[in-house]
Chains A and B, each alone.
Chain A
Amino acid sequence: QKEVEQNSGPLSVPEGAIASLNCTYSDRGSQSFFWYRQYSGKSPELIMFIYSNGDKEDGRFTAQLNKASQYVSLLIRDSQPSDSATYLCAGINSGYALNFGKGTSLLVTP
């Protein structure tokens, strides 16, 4: 089973700080990775995806991919209480389905 690993947290950051979420993966053949945000009882919402080594920025979010280290991260700048949610990292498996990590719970405190 190809694994996507995340620290379950909770990760607590003060409002306005940078939240750093990390993910490692075991399938060296994985090419694309996705970050989703999930509020309790709701379906996941796509934040961004990344498939090239390096950084990809979208507003307050920056995804980073390091294929040599098999590491993906998500930075959230100027964190807001509304960012409090579970963040899911996912890779694509051989059947083109998303293979999710267990998620990291983020709490942004006012």
Chain B
Amino acid sequence: GAVVSQHPSWVICKSGTSVKIECRSLDFQATTMFWYRQFPKQSLMLMATSNEGSKATYEQGVEKDKFLINHASLTLSTLTVTSAHPEDSSFYICSARGARGLYGYTFGSGTRLTVV
């Protein structure tokens, strides 16, 4: 149990376009979703926390208008990188947490975004 599916696993896009990344909890209800970004040889940096039906809470330094997060249901959260630029190229990973911490923290498989 406790599987999180993340798609796409990799994407290449042109500078100035937008990219949407989906994160689905397959067998549990994810009351909270977390989005992380990881640059090469660095650790995971929390970008934002989203609770189902609420606006996401962004970490300091993360542009909310650039990284749009939607958590419309208990099984789906999306991250849209708007007007992507080469510096947005990174590994994006979602993590889901069930109510009261049930199922712990389950990570998606990650999305490698390359902006050219």
Contact = CB atoms under 8 A, between A and B. Distances in A.
Given A43-B93, A43-B109, A44-B107, A97 B46 contact: yes
Residue of A42, A97, A100 contacting most chain B CB atoms (<10 Å): A97
A97 B107 CA distance: 12
B104 interface: yes
B42 interface: yes
A95 B57 contact: yes
Interface in B68-116: 91, 93, 95, 97, 101, 104-105, 107-110, 112
A100 B43 contact: yes
Nearest to A44: B107
B112 A41 contact: yes
B107 A43 contact: yes
Contacts of A44: 44, 93, 107
A96 B104 contact: no
A45 B44 CA distance: 13
B103 to A, nearest CB: 11
B36 to A, nearest CB: 8
A100 B91 CA distance: 15
Contacts of B91: 41
B29 interface: no
Interface of A: 34, 41-46, 49, 88, 93, 95-103
Given A97-B46, A100-B44, 4 more contacts: A41-B91, A43-B108, A44-B93, A99-B46
